[in-house]
Amino acid sequence: MSTGLVVRHVQEHDLPTVQAWLRPGMARDLPSTGAEAPEQWLLVAHEGGAALACLRLRRAIGLDLPRHWYHVGCVVHAAAELGLVHRMHTLQLGNDLTGASELADVAWDRQALDLPGSARVLSHLLGAALQRLAGDRPGPTARLIVELPGLRDAQGRSPFWEGLGRHFYDADPVAAALRFGSAWCSHVAALLPRQPVYTSFLCDAAQAAVAQVDPAARVLMDLLWQAGLRYAHHVCIDDGGPVFECATDLVVAPAA
Amino acid sequence: MNAPATEANQAGRYLLRPAQAGDLPGLLRLASQRAIGISSLPLQRDALRERIESSALAFASDDAPSGDETYLFVLEDRAAAGELIGTAGIAAAAGFHDRFYAYRNEFVVQASTALGARNRIHTLHLCHDLTGVTLLTGFHIQVDHAHTLAPQLLSRGRLMFIAAHPERFSERIAAENPGIADDSGRCPFWDAVGRRFFGMDTAAAEALAGGRTHKNWIAELLPQSPIYVPLLPEEAQWSLGQLHPVGELPFGILMDEGFDGDNYVNVFDGGPTADSRVALLKTVAGRRRVRASLRRVESAVSTGWQLVARPGREDFRATVLPRGTGRSVVLGEDEALALGVAAGEWLDVAPLEAAAAADGPA
């Protein structure tokens, strides 16, 4: 089946195009111009034509700079005498997914691609990335994760951050991301609560944003679902977006 | 109703003693009156009678103390034919049957060098630290007498009793103080914390819990992990550890005694729970045992006030008298009669340096 699409590494001349797709600050992690483009940045493009989507394949994450996620737990408070049973959620900061492989910075040209087009291009890109992962020698606990973007308003503000992170780091998170790239999350985690936080203490908007996906990323979420990745009670610390995960050997690569 | 209590006529005017069965009408009247302080008096006759009876048992028991004793004291105005004008209590061991819940204030400092940020975060830890600690309970005084020596005697007189019977009490002592709430009972701290776990107001929750020991049912539903105060609404943050105005008088006395009001807050209303080691309290540390002697003529010489207590159990009595100079305490006949002592018997005395406070706004 010919798709007319090719997958290749990001090259120097792609950088201006790719930068425009990425979330603020994440372009800092792109290979700097003039440097050899490292293997992990993959790009899908029309054969002999324009770049359409990219992702960054990362292996053994969090071993040099710690990565953090909230684990969304459940606590049941019961008082039999009062006939009360309350189910509540907690957020526990941790490094649970350290060592996993990650498909990060999945981004695409939203202007050029309609919904079916996005699905086709992303499926192609994911397929190529998963095939590369399948070539790795899998460890017994090897996992693959993808952080999905959480809810944000038109100005890029995340209600989850406003309800939780802001109380512990009151500077502008976008400015920090622009300065440090994706590493800003590792830096800010040092300021976040280490003990479980009951979501009941967050404002309603922040509670409602836990593990919710940016509607514009639904197409990506659906593809990950088909590939066998699932939400497994981890969310991103900056916007509360869900982390989709799967044991690497259970991944079902889409037909490229 | 009463003559204003000036300094001159306060000597021996007030008498603190254990509550007795006959005090029921007087206590009922007190419970229904506007009063200053922390009331824990039940308004129902039966509940109040029960409170008096269990207190009488506690005072009477000469066995080894079990720890569940609750002592109830009443304050008489001898210038008004012994009318009851105040009451206060002691629980020998907080949370005796179960646990005593409090939030402990803690602070964590977190920093990110890369971000150049550093913050000091106030957290509340649900704890049972104060379980088994002696608890000062309730403090209730008629408004007319708020600015006399009466509240001093009512609060500190209990410490004289504790000091005289250390085997009945813990070495540590604590006192809950009312937190911020408006006239309708709305409490910002409860709304921010408890309500999220119950979905009902404090009064409903307490009514549901139905009484002192069963408050634990409520506390058991509270979050077990520390509460990060910055996540609470501003009004709740502001009210945390703040005292309701009705608690200012008794709280001020405790602070003067040397209680520390910064360690714990009440799990329901966020009011400060003060604590201390008994031996460090001013009245306890300044207490000494002297013999009583009788004088025949009034002497007007006064160098301040002192608490004078007859250190019994059921016959415990305490009053405030001008401070003497010698190694004995000199009593008028009337005072000796009120305290129930004869010349040569032992009394406990402790300096009372709160006269200035007691002379307060007329």
The C-alpha of B246 sits at a distance from chain A's nearest C-alpha, in angstroms, of: 29
Provide the token pair at A82. Answer: 């009062």
| Residues in chain B closer than 8 A to A198 (CB atoms) | 196, 223, 225
Lowest mean pLDDT segment, chosen from A9-13, A161-165, A211-215, B353-357: B353-357
The beta-strand segments (E) located in B177-241 are 227-228
Residue B43 reports pLDDT greater than 80: no
For residue A81, the 8-state DSSP code is G
pLDDT confidence tier of residue B23, bands split at 50, 70 and 90? very high
Q: Can you spell out the DSSP letters for B120-184?
A: EEEEEEEE-TTTTSEEEEEEEEEGGGTTSSHHHHHHHHHHHHHHH-GGGS-SEEEEE------TT
* CA-based R_g, chain A, Å: 19
pTM here is: 0.88
Domain assignment of residue A256, yes or no: no
Provide the token pair at A76. Answer: 């049941």
The C-alpha of B333 sits at a distance from chain A's nearest C-alpha, in angstroms, of: 57
Mean predicted confidence (pLDDT) in A248-252: 85
Give the rounded percent of residues in chain A with a pLDDT score beyond 90.
Answer: 66
Tell me the sheet residues that pair with A197.
Answer: A91
| Residues B344, B333: Cα–Cα separation, whole Å | 13
Q: Do A79 and B221 touch (CB under 8 A)?
A: yes
| Residues in chain B closer than 8 A to A88 (CB atoms) | 197, 223
Element of type H or E holding B265: strand B260-265
Provide the token pair at A248. Answer: 């690497």
User: Is the model more confident about A239 or about B294?
Assistant: A239
Element of type H or E holding B76: strand B70-77
| Residues in chain B closer than 8 A to A79 (CB atoms) | 217-218, 220-221
| Residues B92, B100: Cα–Cα separation, whole Å | 13
Give the closest residue to B141 by CA, choosing from B179, B90, B180, B88: B88
Element of type H or E holding B288: strand B288-294
Domain assignment of residue A59, yes or no: yes
Residue B140 reports pLDDT greater than 60: yes
A174 contacts chain B (CB < 8 A): no
| Residues A69, A237: Cα–Cα separation, whole Å | 6
pLDDT for A34: 53
Q: Do B112 and A191 touch (CB under 8 A)?
A: yes
pLDDT for B273: 96
Q: CA nearest B116 in A: which residue?
A: A187
Q: CA nearest B217 in A: which residue?
A: A79
Chain A, window 196-235: residues with a beta carbon less than 8 angstroms from a chain B beta carbon: 196-198, 200-202
Give the closest residue to B276 by CA, choosing from B154, B171, B163, B151: B171
pLDDT for B184: 81
Domain assignment of residue A25, yes or no: yes
Mean predicted confidence (pLDDT) in B169-177: 95
Q: Do B112 and A169 touch (CB under 8 A)?
A: yes
| Residues B287, B119: Cα–Cα separation, whole Å | 45
Tell me the ipTM for this assembly: 0.88
| Residues B322, B324: Cα–Cα separation, whole Å | 6
Q: What share of chain B is helix, strand, coil (3-state, %, to 5)?
A: 35, 30, 40
End-to-end CA distance of chain A: give it in Å, rounded. 9
Tell me the sheet residues that pair with B122.
Answer: B107
Mean predicted confidence (pLDDT) in B319-330: 82
| Residues B31, B47: Cα–Cα separation, whole Å | 12
Instruction: Tell me the CA distances in angstroms from B121 to A189, B107, B118, B296, one per residue in order.
Output: 14, 5, 10, 64
Side-chain-side CA neighbours of A249 within 13 Å: the count stands at: 6
Give the closest residue to A243 by CA, choosing from A101, A137, A139: A101
| Residues in chain A closer than 8 A to B218 (CB atoms) | 79, 82
Domains recognised in chain B with CATH numbers: 8-285 (3.40.630.30)
SS3 of residue B297 by DSSP: coil
| Residues B252, B245: Cα–Cα separation, whole Å | 11
The beta-strand segments (E) located in chain A are 5-9, 41-46, 51-58, 69-79, 84-94, 101-108, 143-147, 197-198, 230-235, 242-247
pLDDT for A242: 98
pLDDT tens per residue across span A219-244: 999 999 999 999 999 999 999 999 99
Mutate which of A77, A178, A201, A238 to disrupt the B interface (most B C-beta within 10 Å)? A201
pLDDT confidence tier of residue B65, bands split at 50, 70 and 90? confident
pLDDT tens per residue across span B104-118: 999 999 999 999 999
Residue B239 reports pLDDT greater than 90: yes
pLDDT for B122: 97
Mutate which of B191, B208, B222, B225 to disrupt the A interface (most A C-beta within 10 Å)? B225
Mutate which of B101, B107, B113, B115 to disrupt the A interface (most A C-beta within 10 Å)? B115
CB atoms within 10 A of CB B344: 10
Query: How many domains, in total, are found in chain A?
Result: 1
Q: Do B197 and A201 touch (CB under 8 A)?
A: no
A188 contacts chain B (CB < 8 A): yes
Q: Do A168 and B123 touch (CB under 8 A)?
A: no
Q: Do B221 and A197 touch (CB under 8 A)?
A: no
A76 contacts chain B (CB < 8 A): no
| Residues A106, A213: Cα–Cα separation, whole Å | 14
pLDDT tens per residue across span B178-231: 999 888 878 999 999 988 887 666 666 666 655 444 566 677 788 889 999 999
A74 contacts chain B (CB < 8 A): no
The C-alpha of A154 sits at a distance from chain B's nearest C-alpha, in angstroms, of: 25
Domain assignment of residue A255, yes or no: no
Q: How far is CA B292 from the centre of its chain?
A: 28
Lowest mean pLDDT segment, chosen from A170-179, B91-100, B196-205: B196-205
Q: Return the CATH number at A20.
A: 3.40.630
pLDDT confidence tier of residue B360, bands split at 50, 70 and 90? very low
